[in-house]
């Protein structure tokens, strides 16, 4: 189960890095820029451990899919970004894809 812990940490750091990226103002602000670099480095570091047990295609699909959902929700909740019906439908498809991969794919180590 440690592969899911590593994947979870990779996702969390990717989300932190992406949210901080919005705050860098084109990498002109030092603190958010530093957070981006460190968060992405940690994200890839933990993702590399995940790839020891989960195929890259599956790990990347989960990492990016869950990351997208979290970033959109955080952007909506804390950054005032709007979600219209097509955006919600698209997020629903991503969520269904993540669930299908986890429940039915024989490529994922359980």
Helix axes 56-78, 30-50, angle to 10 degrees: 150
DSSP single-letter state for residue 79: S
pLDDT at residue 104, rounded to an integer = 82
Residues 43 and 16: their CA atoms lie apart, in Å, by 9
pLDDT in tens, 3-34: 889 999 999 999 999 999 989 999 999 999 99
pLDDT at residue 16, rounded to an integer = 97
Q: Mean pLDDT, to the nearest integer, of 90-100?
A: 89
| Element of type H or E holding 52 | none
Q: pTM score, two decimals?
A: 0.85
pLDDT in tens, 29-47: 999 999 999 999 999 999 9
């Amino acid at each position: 189960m440690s592969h899911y812990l590593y994947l979870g940490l990779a996702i969390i750091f990717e989300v932190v890095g992406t949210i901080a990226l919005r705050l860098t103002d084109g990498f002109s602000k030092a603190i958010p820029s530093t957070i981006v670099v460190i968060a992405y480095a940690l994200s890839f570091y933990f993702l590399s451990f995940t790839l020891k047990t989960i195929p890259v295609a599956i790990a990347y699909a989960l990492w990016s899919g869950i990351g997208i959902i979290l970033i959109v929700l955080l952007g909506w909740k804390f950054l005032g970004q709007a979600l219209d019906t097509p955006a919600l439908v698209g997020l629903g498809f991503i969520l269904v894809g993540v669930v299908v991969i986890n429940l039915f794919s024989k490529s994922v180590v359980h």
